[in-house]
Amino acid sequence: MGDLAQYTPGPAGGAQMRKQEGENWTLILVRELRHSPEKVWQALTDPAHLREWAPFEVDANLDTVGTVKLTWTGTLAAQETRVTRAEAPKVLEYNDTRWELEAFGVGTRLTLWHNIDRRFISWGAAGWHISFDVLDRFLSGTPIGRIAGAEAMKFEGWRRLTAEYAKQFGIETHK
C-alpha cells in the first residue's frame, strides 16, 4: 500500500455544476486517467475494486442492468439501487449517478454526473476529487486506501478542496 501521509490532493479543477430546479443540482467532474477504458470500467463496476476507492460499497457487480444494494461509507443502511444503463466500457448509470468513459490518448477521460443537494455540492466535488485521486493510484498499482465519508472530512486536503470548489462555483459552503 502506498503512503497516505505523502498524499496531498492537487488544486480543485475539472468540475462544474449545473443548477436544477429544487434542491438537487448536478455536479460534473472530469478526470483524465492513464488507464484503458476497460480497466477503468472494471474499477467502476467490480465490488472488490469499488471498496478500494469509491465512497460506497455494493453487493453485486454494476456491469449489468438490474438492482443492487449500495451502502455509502459511514452509513448503516443499504439503499436499493437500480442500474439503468451499463454499456461496457462507455456508460454506466444508476440512481442519481452517470459515468462516461472515453478513450483519450493512451488512457481514459472519465466524466461523472452526480445529482447532489445544492448545499453540499462543494463537499461532493471535494470528496469525488479525492476519490478520483485514490482511484488513479489504485489503478497504477500504488493504492493508498479509500478516503471517504467522515474520514475524508477530517482530511486537511478535503477542507481546502471544499473551499476551492465553493469559490469556483460561486457559492457559500454549508457549515
Enter the C-alpha cell of residue 49. Answer: 475494486
Alpha helices in 35-155 (DSSP H): 37-45, 47-53, 121-139, 149-154
CATH 3.30.530.20 fits 4-169, yes or no: yes
pLDDT digits (tens, 9 = 90+) for 130-140: 999 999 999 99
pLDDT digits (tens, 9 = 90+) for 46-64: 999 999 999 999 999 999 9
Residue 98 confidence (pLDDT): 98
Residue 17 confidence (pLDDT): 93
Share of the chain above pLDDT 70, in %: 95
34 has pLDDT over 70 = yes
- Residue among 144, 125, 109, 114 nearest 11 (CA): 125
Tracing cell 468540475 back to the chain, one arrives at: 15
Tracing cell 467522515 back to the chain, one arrives at: 150
166 has pLDDT over 80 = yes
Q: Pseudo-torsion of CA 2, 4, 10, 14, nearest 10°?
A: 70
pTM: predicted TM-score of the whole model, two decimal places: 0.92
8 Å CB contact between 155 and 15: no
Enter the C-alpha cell of residue 171. Answer: 457559492
Spell out the domain ranges in the chain: 4-169
175 has pLDDT over 80 = no
pLDDT digits (tens, 9 = 90+) for 62-82: 999 999 999 999 898 999 999
Helices (H) and strands (E) in the chain, counts: 5, 8
Residue 21 confidence (pLDDT): 79
- d(CA 66, CA 78) in angstroms, rounded, equals 16
Cα 31 to Cα 5, 35, 74, 102, 136, distances in angstroms: 23, 11, 25, 11, 10
More confident residue, 156 or 75: 75
- d(CA 64, CA 172) in angstroms, rounded, equals 38
Tracing cell 462555483 back to the chain, one arrives at: 169
8 Å CB contact between 155 and 130: yes
Give the pLDDT band of residue 92 (cuts 50, 70, 90): very high
Compute the residue count for the chain. 175
pLDDT digits (tens, 9 = 90+) for 105-134: 999 999 999 999 989 999 999 999 999 999
22 has pLDDT over 90 = no
